[in-house]
Chain A
Amino acid sequence: AVRACGGAWRRTWQRGALGPGPARRGQHAAACNARAGAVPAGKSGLAPWMPVVGLEIHAQISSNSKLFSGSQVQFAAPPNSLVSFFDASLPGTLPVLNRRCVEAAVMTGLALNCSINKKSLFDRKHYFYADLPAGYQITQQRVPIAVNGSLSYSLCIDNKMSQMVTKTVRIKQIQLEQDSGKSLHDDTRSQTLVDLNRAGVGLMEVVMEPDMCCGEEAAAAVRELQLILQTLGSSQAVMAEGQLRVDANVSVHHPGEPYGVRTEVKNINSIRFLAKAVDYEIQRQIEELENGGTILNETRAFDSKLGCTVPMRDKEGKQDYRFMPEPNLPPLILYDAKSLPANMNHQQVVNIDWIHERLPDLPSVKRAKLVEQYGILPEHSFTLLNEDGLAEFFENVVNQTQMKPKKVIGWIINDLLSHLRQHSVTVKESPVSSLLLADLLNLLVKKDISSTAAKQVLAELWKGEGKTPLEIVKEKKLGLIQDEKELEQICQAVIDRQENE
């Protein structure tokens, strides 16, 4: 479960007086004031602080080939084996747009409630770095493919996961752009090794407005985005494989005053680290300012081992990207049912309405359906969707047992899940199948065993020795005695023993 905003802040929040000071953006302030979002007075008793967090997320598009070339997209391949002449920026090569990447971006834009721009443009963003062979990245700076969307996510107010609140973050835009190659730094020999396999892979950059106020909100928003992308299939969004990269922009200010200087935090490799990095940076900025210092508009890297952010080298000085239109690409035109041209080749047409009709159920819809169909709590539906394959497992068990879904859910969320976590195993790798669990729960429903006994049987089943629940019950004599005469004899024996003492 996701904990509330940093323990220390919460204690002072409860003690200190925040006051009714008007914040500059009503929606944001209301959201943060509802929980411990605003950080109250520090040791010097100054006015409270409002942290502001914005995110820039790069999601690698799930496609066979790259954004502008026909080389393969694959994680972990021999260096420079998935590189075409265009990716290596050899003279005389030109970009050719991959249709699948366009569709992925449209799907994602629609899922995030964006307006899809029927005409979007490509630009060049110039900077020098060894893993960017062309000296520029093709992106969409002026008119991106999708704008003005929103993402809703949920948070637990307290530790108990019993009270959830829904928040929304605005999506400024989604743009298509190229990924860069990978640099491996060899400090001992003072050189960098460059692998261009990743150069040119399609990315969707999702730019979120700074509507969040702490690490927990940022983590929850990214988690929900990850689930959406995975549901759509537009990106596999596995952070560990670099398919989902998050940079956080963090600043603090006093309510009613202008926004403070922001820093950019990079090198965040997991959702857990995202929360830590953001919270650390907020705290760092507050301490710096309360000690009379200033915040530099700089880029910092998160050090996961030390749990802190440090200034990044090679990012000093203001960058001027000298944006210019990409001269080799005409505007990208998308169509809908109304504007569909009559005689155009199907393969050359991307129809927004066609894509919209075929969008799968988004996580929020799936959760609502689970709650409605099975009568489980909203919090349960979150847990079911958060663990890959768990919702399907739950439904399979429900379909194979007489136990009511409202009771089954407890076994899934408490017992099965804790076993999975204990042994660091995914649902797909579970030694206990949905059928086995259903069999076990049937025994419980028929009152052949007690709840305690059932837990013991589950632990036995987890060993994966191939025994059925019934076999284990017989073996360990865990069955509830049903015979009245036998029960009478046992009770009588106990009473007799008592009398003898």
Chain B
Amino acid sequence: RKVTAEVLGQLEHLALVDFRDAEGVERLQKAIRFADQLQEVNTDGVEPMDSVLEDRCLYLREDDVTEGNCTKELLKNAREKVEEYFVAPPGNIPLPKLEDQETFLQGS
């Protein structure tokens, strides 16, 4: 089963990943095949485990103020700032549509 160009386009849009060329897409296909091996295991009647921490106790913290007040330090990493705000583009910048992309995907 090959991954369709449409699905690849959706993945790129959602995950902001650029599959770029045939090798990139083949790597994705290999990763899917690898993960599909999980389907071979019979899990009837077995509760799914979603974390190796599942038997650990979830630590509950007291409701005290112990952090914050480090504006300067946080803003040190910001490429752009205005007063004490981080600066971002006006909205999510959409990826170029499939038709406009110059990547390999267009050819497939």
For residue A195, give the distance in angstroms from its CB to the closest CB of chain B.
Answer: 6
Contact call B68/A81, Cβ cutoff below 8 A: yes
Closest to A194 in B: B86
Q: CA A390 – CA B56 in complex, angstroms?
A: 49
Contact call B65/A70, Cβ cutoff below 8 A: yes
The total of chain B residues at the interface (CB under 8 A) is 39
Residue A223 is within 8 A (CB to CB) of chain B in the complex: no
Residue numbers in B under 8 Å from A121 (CB-CB): 50
The bracket for how many chain A residues form the interface is 35 or more
Contact call B62/A347, Cβ cutoff below 8 A: yes
Which of the segments B19-27, B33-41, B87-95 contacts the partner chain? B87-95
Q: CA A58 – CA B91 in complex, angstroms?
A: 23
Residue A407 is within 8 A (CB to CB) of chain B in the complex: no
Given contacts A79-B85, A194-B85, contact A64 B64 (CB under 8 A): yes
Contact call B92/A314, Cβ cutoff below 8 A: yes
Contact call A314/B63, Cβ cutoff below 8 A: no
Residue numbers in B under 8 Å from A320 (CB-CB): 10, 14
Q: Per a CB cutoff under 8 Å, which of A84, A98, A100, A193 touches B82?
A: A193
Contact call B87/A191, Cβ cutoff below 8 A: yes
Residue numbers in A under 8 Å from B92 (CB-CB): 128-129, 314
Residue B28 is within 8 A (CB to CB) of chain A in the complex: no
Contact call B65/A130, Cβ cutoff below 8 A: no
Given contacts A327-B51, A348-B57, contact A71 B85 (CB under 8 A): no
For residue B90, give the distance in angstroms from its CB to the closest CB of chain A.
Answer: 5
Given contacts A65-B65, A194-B88, A350-B60, contact A80 B71 (CB under 8 A): yes
Q: Per a CB cutoff under 8 Å, which of B66, B84, B87 touches A78?
A: B84
Contact call B63/A100, Cβ cutoff below 8 A: yes
Interface of A is mostly: loop
Contact call A97/B59, Cβ cutoff below 8 A: yes
Contact call B85/A195, Cβ cutoff below 8 A: yes
Contact call B74/A130, Cβ cutoff below 8 A: no
For residue B56, give the distance in angstroms from its CB to the closest CB of chain A.
Answer: 4
Residue numbers in A under 8 Å from B67 (CB-CB): 65, 69-71, 84-86
Closest to B55 in A: A330
Q: Per a CB cutoff under 8 Å, which of B55, B86, B90 touches A185?
A: B90
Residue A360 is within 8 A (CB to CB) of chain B in the complex: no
Closest to A350 in B: B60
Residue A438 is within 8 A (CB to CB) of chain B in the complex: no
Residue B58 is within 8 A (CB to CB) of chain A in the complex: yes
Q: Which of A193, A320, A327 has the most C-beta atoms of chain B within 10 angstroms of its own C-beta?
A: A193
Given contacts A88-B74, A98-B63, A330-B57, contact A82 B84 (CB under 8 A): no
Contact call A184/B85, Cβ cutoff below 8 A: yes
For residue A72, give the distance in angstroms from its CB to the closest CB of chain B.
Answer: 4
Q: CA A409 – CA B2 in complex, angstroms?
A: 75
Q: Which of B58, B83, B89, B91 has the most C-beta atoms of chain A within 10 angstroms of its own C-beta?
A: B58
Residue A187 is within 8 A (CB to CB) of chain B in the complex: yes
Q: Per a CB cutoff under 8 Å, which of A65, A78, A81, A99 touches B60?
A: A99
B residues with CB within 8 A of A: 10, 13-16, 50-51, 53-71, 74-75, 82-92
- With A79-B84, A80-B71, A348-B57 given, can you name 5 additional A-B contacts, CB distance below 8 Å? A97-B60, A99-B62, A325-B50, A330-B56, A332-B58
Of all A-B residue pairs in the complex, the 5 with the closest CB atoms, nearest first, are A70-B66, A130-B88, A100-B63, A71-B68, A84-B67
Can you name 25 A-B residue pairings with CB atoms under 8 Å? A71-B68, A81-B71, A83-B70, A83-B71, A83-B74, A84-B67, A85-B67, A97-B59, A97-B61, A98-B60, A98-B61, A99-B62, A99-B63, A102-B60, A130-B86, A191-B89, A191-B90, A194-B88, A313-B91, A322-B14, A330-B56, A330-B58, A331-B54, A332-B58, A348-B59
